[in-house]
Amino acid sequence: MTEILWVDDEPWFLEPLQEKIRARLPQVSIATCVAGSEALARLAERPPDLLVLDVLMPVQTIEEIVADALAGAEAPPDESWRLGGLKVLQEVLAKGFAKARIVIYSIVREGDAREDALRNGVNLEGIRYIHKETDLDEAAALISGMVGAPKQS
């Protein structure tokens, strides 16, 4: 079975799009993670066929942030938690995950996302970008098409 790992801190926002993808590709399994740390743990267990992620999301889950706060840890700088998707990308790219199988699905304008990425040392060259305001049918078609795309080495 083909697997998509979707990383976004607003999973309820994604349900209509994921339903459209499942209708196009009934054999696809879609797992959702809501924070960077959760995604990295999942990726270490089993890399998906396609990784779809948001740029603006926390590195940690709410539970991890609360546990750290209760333990007296300093809060991360805003830039650190805000760019959780880029932190996931840094790890994924460092481990050689094929760029052709990654989609950024974000509300951030593409140019701004690429600037944030470069400022944080992440090269988004070859990674597909879909804005969250894209028509759902069009976004579903683009993402569904990526599932069957060959991996680049």
pLDDT digits (tens, 9 = 90+) for 15-48: 899 999 999 999 999 998 887 778 888 888 888 8
User: Encoding tokens for residue 63?
Assistant: 């539970």
Strand order in the sheet with 50-53: 28-33, 2-7, 50-53, 102-106, 128-131
Q: For residue 132, give the nearest of 143, 144, 146, 120 by alpha carbon.
A: 143
pLDDT at 62 (0 to 100): 54
Q: What's the mean pLDDT in 129-149?
A: 87
Between residues 3 and 60, the one the model is more confident about:
3
Between residues 145 and 87, the one the model is more confident about:
145
Residue owning tokens 């993808």: 21
Integer Rg of the chain from CA: 15
Does residue 152 have a pLDDT over 60? no
Does residue 58 have a pLDDT over 80? no
What's the pTM value of the predicted model, to 2 decimals? 0.79
CATH of domain 2-147: 3.40.50.2300
User: Encoding tokens for residue 107?
Assistant: 């509300």
Q: Which residues contact 125 (CB under 8 A, 6 or more apart)?
A: 99
Q: Which helix (H) or strand (E) holds 103?
A: strand 102-106
Taking the C-alpha atoms of residue 145 and residue 115, their distance in angstroms, rounded to an integer, is 26
Confirm if 13 and 58 have CB atoms less than 8 A apart. Answer: no
pLDDT at 75 (0 to 100): 56
Question: Is residue 91 very low, low, confident or very high in pLDDT (cuts 50, 70, 90)?
Answer: confident
Between residues 45 and 148, the one the model is more confident about:
45
Q: Write down the number of H helices and E strands in the chain.
A: 7, 5
What percent of the chain has a predicted confidence (pLDDT) above 90?
A: 17
In terms of Cβ atoms closer than 10 Å to its own Cβ (0-12, 13-18, 19+), residue 153 is exposed
Confirm if 11 and 32 have CB atoms less than 8 A apart. Answer: yes
